[in-house]
């Protein structure tokens, strides 16, 4: 009897597709002319080389990490919370980060490091608040408690951000806050990447290595206990990794939604719900998705389109397509 | 007994009805022809029974209206409430109004309830407030006059409206003459330059992250675009900014445009330091504008000169002198600044020297 | 604690919350090794809570739980997982794995936090499926199985765990006759192989069919415990269920009948 079939062909195809997408994206942009730069130009033009190296490459790498992280974090959250409608940011992480960034834009000197730090810190604060509120709720299982606490904390931060938007100077600060809330990689440099990498890479590695145990954690606590796991501890590790990575990337890229919600669904449809294979699939699909969206964001029009708008647009379209397709065997 | 109660009750109804009808009776009297009618920016005709003695300014974009109002010496006496005062207003207005402290300073987002206690005879708002604050005030029987003050023609029109309200039309004409004269000076200087010789100009605002790779460009309909065109340049960014606000562009797009001249605006913080950083950036050094030494920070005193504020002629002059130095080389900005504040705001020379000149950023 | 008992609970008190009624009151019982023990009692009597205490999922407010002579707390979770297996009554499975992937989860007590099942684990899982005649279902999603098939698959997972003690929570309650028969047959053969089987049930017939030992539990207390023949008396059953019963013997097997209510 053969072991459960590994979707190696699917994973290999996706990996190749990702590399091809990255390779092509290096030549997509607005310089020297809209959309496509002939590769020969790289050799001839010093400015082209500089732009590609200092702008496009860090931006592509950040988009790749964003896609992989949001998808991995989304899958972790969906399995840990046993709820396919959960997003990485919903534990108050995204709204907390948004609040932190708005606070910084409003009241501190314009300082990129400060904005990133504030967003990360407040993202984590949001998660800790959700967690401590959840512990004080005395009804419902722990999943319900965390979901309720997450909704409440997100609402708190989101109204706080609303107040900040109201107080912001419409001339100088409000457009900045609004653009940040819609998400965009337009000012990403190597410096931002260096800030983000030490937080994101270890988190992704941890999640990747623990992916088989996600299956276990998606079952009831009693079952997990009986199978020799300490579900509280393992959940904490996985959630912590997911949240730290998400908060760090939100600090740099702004609020990007829908990726963490949709891509795990696509991955599960493609190769089944076993996280051992679904997680790497999700990471690859997420990477491709965000890189393509970012290519469009920076190359389609002379002005930048906020990335969050494109991911929401395509994400929602794909979501509708997934939901309405009539499949005989509907796998969640 | 019952009949007495019935009588009281019906008396109450009659009195109540009479009271409620009174406003309706009073209204026709108010629409009788009056000595004073102003046509505001939205084309509305606002009538005044007698000249307004108490003027309030409120709502968003206040600094544009308040700076324009203080062009008239009467403003210091007639204004009773204004706000919110942003940073530039807080620094500048005390210089032109010694009695600023006695006026009601409104908070950001102040509603009708906060304005009404100052009992204004008229409230001046930007036309964008016509959707909310304006109608509320009018329901409370306070006349509202809308102004735009966003483009040069609008300046002339709205200055005349302000002159009517502050009963100094002569002053309005004098100020309009100044604006026309400055604009004509620039237009004459750059007249006849063929399109091919006009430099391609880019105006950028730096974002709050002080990023060296992400900027925004003004909307195509804004005064910055007009100023560049008037000054004899070609604004390259209009294809990107079809929207109504600032549009974000990346360094790639800036490099793709590769303009001849780049002007950087920074509303918060020192623009010169930032421009120096850009000049040191190797990617920026590869751009034509930096190679030719045509990367400038837009000057500012109390507020940046690129905005639709009363200072826009200074911005225009400075811009034109930079875009076409061969034609406007005789312009000496220090003199122009002194003239502006003396003629338009009546500031004494020692104040100009002591308070205004030190603020000047940007190489003049 | 008697030398042959593998799991021993003494004087357990447990309540889910201070403000709530205690679920277990001064409960003591012993599970003998290598036999099939049935814990019989009415619904809501605390049987599921009992299993959770045995597993170490919850800690009693008072009392001791000894596993193979040592306090349960002294074992790490993985050690407990290798000794105690659980077949829950029902399981909510939010993301559907295939049967094989689901059964493979039983190997987790033997895998480190970062490890994944390998060839050997896969072989053990296949053997467990083969033993229960479920190999044909290997690739089907678990959520598409019938209730009885799911119960068997959960049992297969517990078998993959290769634990010495198997706990089952109401294994026959939702099953039709054929599945009930199959499970009880498997439980008997496991006990013959030396596995200690403990199952809770509210149905005396299931207990009678396979159990060698019987423990009667009512309202969080043990009413009686010992070999089945000794414990299964009409008085004990009446005390447990609160209704009069009769025990008849059919071909050497006791059969429990409700006393007919007076017409």
What is the greatest pairwise CA distance in chain A?
69
User: What b/e string do you get for C31-46 counting C-beta neighbours within 10 Å, with b at 16 or more?
Assistant: bbbbbbbbbbbbeebb
The mean pLDDT of chain B is 84
Contact A274 C98 (CB under 8 A): yes
What angle do the packed helices A57-80 and A190-209 form, to 10 degrees? 30
Residues A242, A246, A251, CA angle at the centre, nearest 5°? 155
Residues 6+ positions from B149 with CB-CB distance below 8 Å: B64, B65, B68, B126, B155, B158, B308
**Which chain A positions have a beta carbon within 8 Å of B208's beta carbon?**
105, 110, 115, 172-173, 176
The mean pLDDT of chain C is 87
Identify the CA nearest to B255 among candidates A56, A232, A4: A56
What angle do the packed helices A93-107 and A112-136 form, to 10 degrees? 140
| pTM confidence score | 0.83
pLDDT higher than threshold 80 for residue B362: no
Interface subset of B 125-164, CB within 8 angstroms of A: none
pLDDT higher than threshold 70 for residue B33: no
CA distance C216 to chain A (A): 24
**Which chain C positions have a beta carbon within 8 Å of A218's beta carbon?**
93-95
Q: Do chains A and B touch (3 or more CB pairs under 8 A)?
A: yes
**Partner residue opposite A213 with nearest CB, options C80, C91, C113:** C113
Q: Does A273 touch chain C (CB under 8 A)?
A: yes
- State the CB neighbour count (10 A cutoff) for residue B34: 11
Average pLDDT in the B317-328 region?
90
Compute CA distances A24 → A29, A291, C208, whole Å.
11, 10, 71
**Partner residue opposite B252 with nearest CB, options A29, A170, A175:** A29
The mean pLDDT of chain A is 86
**What pLDDT is stored for residue B12 in this prediction?**
65
Mutate which: B204, B252, B273, vs A, most A CBs within 10 A: B252
**What pLDDT is stored for residue B23 in this prediction?**
47
The helix (H) or strand (E) run that includes residue C129 is: helix C119-131
**What pLDDT is stored for residue B300 in this prediction?**
86
Q: Are strands B79-82 and B104-105 parallel, antiparallel or unpaired?
A: parallel
pLDDT higher than threshold 70 for residue A110: no
Interface subset of C 129-158, CB within 8 angstroms of A: 135, 138-139, 141, 143-144
State CA A166 to chain mean position distance: 27
pLDDT confidence bin for C262, thresholds 50/70/90: low
**What pLDDT is stored for residue A213 in this prediction?**
92
**What pLDDT is stored for residue A328 in this prediction?**
42
Q: Taking CA atoms, what residue in A is nearest to C139?
A: A4
pLDDT confidence bin for C1, thresholds 50/70/90: very low
DSSP 8-state secondary structure symbol assigned to residue C74:
G
**Partner residue opposite A222 with nearest CB, options C86, C135, C143:** C86
Q: Does A223 touch chain C (CB under 8 A)?
A: yes
Q: Does C89 touch chain A (CB under 8 A)?
A: no
The neighbours of chain C, by the rule of 3 or more Cβ pairs under 8 Å, are A
Q: What is the pLDDT of residues B116-171, one digit of tens each?
A: 888 899 999 988 888 888 888 888 888 999 998 888 899 999 999 999 899 899 99
Q: Does A205 touch chain C (CB under 8 A)?
A: no
The answer to whether the beta carbons of residues C85 and A226 sit under 8 Å apart is: yes
**What pLDDT is stored for residue C219 in this prediction?**
85
**What pLDDT is stored for residue B208 in this prediction?**
60
Q: What is the pLDDT of residues A59-97, one digit of tens each?
A: 999 999 999 999 999 999 999 888 888 888 778 888 898
The answer to whether the beta carbons of residues A217 and A238 sit under 8 Å apart is: yes
Identify the CA nearest to C80 among candidates C172, C165, C16, C13: C165
**What pLDDT is stored for residue B183 in this prediction?**
92
User: What b/e string do you get for B111-139 counting C-beta neighbours within 10 Å, with b at 16 or more?
Assistant: ebeebbebebbbbbbbbebbeebbebbee
More confident: C185 or A292: A292
Compute CA distances A67 → A201, A266, A289, C228, whole Å.
13, 13, 7, 61
Identify the CA nearest to C11 among candidates C29, C33, C23, C37: C29
**Partner residue opposite A332 with nearest CB, options C96, C105, C122:** C96
**What pLDDT is stored for residue C167 in this prediction?**
93
Q: Does A225 touch chain C (CB under 8 A)?
A: yes
CA–CA gap between residue C45 and residue C22 (Å, rounded):
11
Q: What is the pLDDT of residues A23-32, one digit of tens each?
A: 999 999 888 8
Contact B239 A32 (CB under 8 A): no
A interface residues, B as partner, C-beta within 8 Å: 29-34, 46-47, 50-51, 54-56, 105, 109-112, 115, 166-167, 169-173, 175-176, 179, 184, 186-189, 298, 301-304
Residue A305, Cβ density class (10 Å: 0-12 exposed, 13-18 middle, ≥19 buried): buried
**Which chain C positions have a beta carbon within 8 Å of A138's beta carbon?**
17
Q: Does A227 touch chain C (CB under 8 A)?
A: yes
CA–CA gap between residue A152 and residue A158 (Å, rounded):
10
Picking from A53-62, A297-306, B8-17, B255-264, which range would have the lowest pLDDT averaged per residue?
A: B8-17
CA–CA gap between residue B167 and residue B174 (Å, rounded):
14
pLDDT confidence bin for A291, thresholds 50/70/90: very high
- State the CB neighbour count (10 A cutoff) for residue B73: 13
More confident: C245 or A89: C245
Q: Does C80 touch chain A (CB under 8 A)?
A: yes
- Strand residue runs (E) in chain B: 36-39, 45-48, 55-57, 79-82, 104-105, 122-126, 144-147, 200-206, 214-217, 234-235, 247-250, 261-265, 295-297
Identify the CA nearest to B108 among candidates B84, B124, B132: B84
Tokens of B39: 């046509």
Give the number of residues written for chain A. 332
**Which chain A positions have a beta carbon within 8 Å of B256's beta carbon?**
30-34
Q: Do chains C and B touch (3 or more CB pairs under 8 A)?
A: no
pLDDT higher than threshold 80 for residue B28: no
Residues 6+ positions from C150 with CB-CB distance below 8 Å: C90, C91, C142
**What pLDDT is stored for residue A65 in this prediction?**
96
Average pLDDT in the C12-38 region?
86
**Which chain C positions have a beta carbon within 8 Å of A222's beta carbon?**
52, 55, 57, 86, 88
Contact B209 A115 (CB under 8 A): yes
pLDDT higher than threshold 90 for residue C69: no
**Which chain A positions have a beta carbon within 8 Å of B212's beta carbon?**
189
Q: What is the pLDDT of residues A148-175, one digit of tens each?
A: 898 899 999 999 999 998 888 776 778 7
Average pLDDT in the A3-21 region?
87
Mutate which: A210, A227, A282, vs C, most C CBs within 10 A: A227
pLDDT confidence bin for C249, thresholds 50/70/90: confident
**Confidence check on the interface: ipTM exceeds 0.90, yes or no:** no
pLDDT confidence bin for B27, thresholds 50/70/90: very low
CA–CA gap between residue B258 and residue B333 (Å, rounded):
28
pLDDT confidence bin for B29, thresholds 50/70/90: very low
């Amino acid at each position: 009897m053969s072991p459960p079939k590994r979707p190696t062909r699917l994973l290999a195809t996706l990996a190749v597709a990702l590399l091809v997408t990255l390779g092509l994206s290096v030549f997509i942009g607005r310089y020297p002319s809209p959309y496509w730069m002939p590769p020969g130009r790289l050799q001839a033009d010093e400015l082209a080389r500089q732009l590609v190296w200092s702008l496009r490459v860090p931006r592509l790498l950040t988009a790749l990490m964003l896609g992989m992280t949001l998808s991995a974090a989304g899958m972790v959250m969906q399995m840990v919370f046993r709820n396919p409608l959960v997003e990485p940011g919903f534990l108050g992480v995204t709204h907390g980060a948004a609040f932190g960034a708005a606070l910084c834009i409003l009241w501190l000197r314009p300082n990129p490091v400060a904005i990133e730090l504030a967003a990360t810190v407040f993202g984590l604060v949001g998660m800790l608040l959700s967690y401590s509120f959840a512990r004080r709720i005395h009804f419902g299982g722990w999943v319900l408690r965390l979901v309720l606490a997450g909704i409440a904390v997100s609402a708190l931060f989101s109204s706080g951000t609303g107040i900040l938007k109201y107080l912001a100077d419409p001339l100088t600060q409000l457009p900045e806050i609004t653009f940040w809330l819609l998400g965009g990689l337009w000012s990403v440099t190597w410096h931002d990447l260096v800030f983000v990498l030490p937080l994101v890479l270890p988190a992704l590695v941890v999640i990747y290595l623990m992916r088989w145990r996600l299956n276990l954690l998606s079952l009831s606590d009693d079952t997990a206990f009986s199978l020799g796991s300490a579900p509280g501890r393992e959940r904490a590790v996985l959630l912590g990794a997911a949240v730290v990575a998400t908060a760090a990337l939100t600090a740099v890229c702004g609020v990007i939604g829908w990726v963490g919600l949709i891509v795990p669904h696509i991955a599960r449809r493609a190769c089944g719900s076993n996280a051992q294979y679904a997680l790497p699939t999700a990471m690859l699909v997420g990477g491709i998705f965000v890189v393509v969206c970012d290519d469009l964001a920076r190359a389609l029009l002379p002005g930048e389109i906020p990335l969050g708008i494109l991911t929401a647009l395509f994400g929602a379209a794909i979501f509708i397509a997934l939901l309405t397709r009539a499949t005989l065997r509907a796998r969640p | 007994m019952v009949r007495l109660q019935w009588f009281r009750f019906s008396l109450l109804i009659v009195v109540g009805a009479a009271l409620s009808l009174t406003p309706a009776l009073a209204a026709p009297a108010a629409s009788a022809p009056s000595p004073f009618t102003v046509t505001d920016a939205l084309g509305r005709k606002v009538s005044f029974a007698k000249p307004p003695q108490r003027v309030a300014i409120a709502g968003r974009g206040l600094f544009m209206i308040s700076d324009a109002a203080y062009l008239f010496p009467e403003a210091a006496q007639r204004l009773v409430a204004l706000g919110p005062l942003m940073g530039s207003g807080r620094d500048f207005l005390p210089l032109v109004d010694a009695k600023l402290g006695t006026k009601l300073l409104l908070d950001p987002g102040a509603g009708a309830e906060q304005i009404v206690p100052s009992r204004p005879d008229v409230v001046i708002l930007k036309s964008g407030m016509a959707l909310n604050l304006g109608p509320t005030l009018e329901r409370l029987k306070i006349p509202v006059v809308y102004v735009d003050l966003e483009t040069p023609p609008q300046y002339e029109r709205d200055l005349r409206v302000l002159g009517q309200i502050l009963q100094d039309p002569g002053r309005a004409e004098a100020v309009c003459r100044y604006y026309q004269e400055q604009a004509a000076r620039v237009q004459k200087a750059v007249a006849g330059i063929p399109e091919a010789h006009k430099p391609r100009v880019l105006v950028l605002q730096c974002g709050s992250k002080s990023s060296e790779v992400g900027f925004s460009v003004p909307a195509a309909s804004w005064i910055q675009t007009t100023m560049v065109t008037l000054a004899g340049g070609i604004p390259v960014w209009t294809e990107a900014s079809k929207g109504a606000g600032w549009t974000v562009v990346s360094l790639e797009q800036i490099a793709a445009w590769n303009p001849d001249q780049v002007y950087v605006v920074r509303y918060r913080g020192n623009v010169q330091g930032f421009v120096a950083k850009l000049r040191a950036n190797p990617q920026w050094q590869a751009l034509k504008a930096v190679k030719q030494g045509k990367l400038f920070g837009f000057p500012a005193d109390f507020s940046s000169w690129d905005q639709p504020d009363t200072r826009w002629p200074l911005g225009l002059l400075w811009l034109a002198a930079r875009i076409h130095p061969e034609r406007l080389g005789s312009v000496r900005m220090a003199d122009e600044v002194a003239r502006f504040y003396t003629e338009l705001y009546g500031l004494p020379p020692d104040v100009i020297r002591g308070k205004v000149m030190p603020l000047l950023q940007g190489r003049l | 604690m008697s030398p042959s008992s593998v799991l021993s609970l003494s004087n357990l008190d447990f309540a889910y919350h201070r403000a709530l009624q205690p679920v277990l009151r001064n409960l003591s019982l012993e599970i003998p090794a290598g036999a099939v023990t049935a814990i019989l009692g009415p619904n809501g009597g605390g049987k599921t809570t009992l299993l959770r205490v045995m597993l170490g999922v919850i800690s009693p407010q008072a009392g001791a739980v000894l596993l193979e002579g040592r306090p349960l707390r002294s074992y790490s979770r993985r050690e407990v997982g290798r000794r105690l297996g659980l077949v829950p009554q029902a399981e909510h499975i939010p993301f559907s794995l295939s049967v094989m992937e689901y059964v493979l989860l039983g190997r987790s007590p033997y895998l480190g936090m970062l490890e994944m099942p390998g060839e050997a684990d896969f072989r053990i899982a296949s053997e467990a499926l083969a033993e229960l005649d479920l190999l044909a279902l290997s690739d089907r999603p678990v959520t598409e199985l019938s209730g009885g098939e799911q119960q068997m698959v959960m049992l297969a997972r517990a078998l993959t765990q290769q634990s010495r003690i198997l706990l089952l929570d109401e294994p026959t309650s939702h099953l039709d006759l054929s599945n009930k028969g199959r499970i009880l047959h498997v439980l008997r053969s496991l006990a013959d192989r030396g596995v200690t089987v403990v199952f809770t049930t509210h149905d005396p017939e299931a207990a009678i069919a396979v159990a060698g030992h019987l423990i009667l539990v009512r309202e969080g207390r043990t009413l009686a415990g010992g070999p089945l023949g000794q414990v299964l008396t009409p008085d004990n059953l009446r005390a447990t269920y609160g209704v009069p019963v009769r025990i008849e013997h059919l071909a050497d097997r006791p059969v429990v009948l409700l006393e007919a209510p007076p017409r």
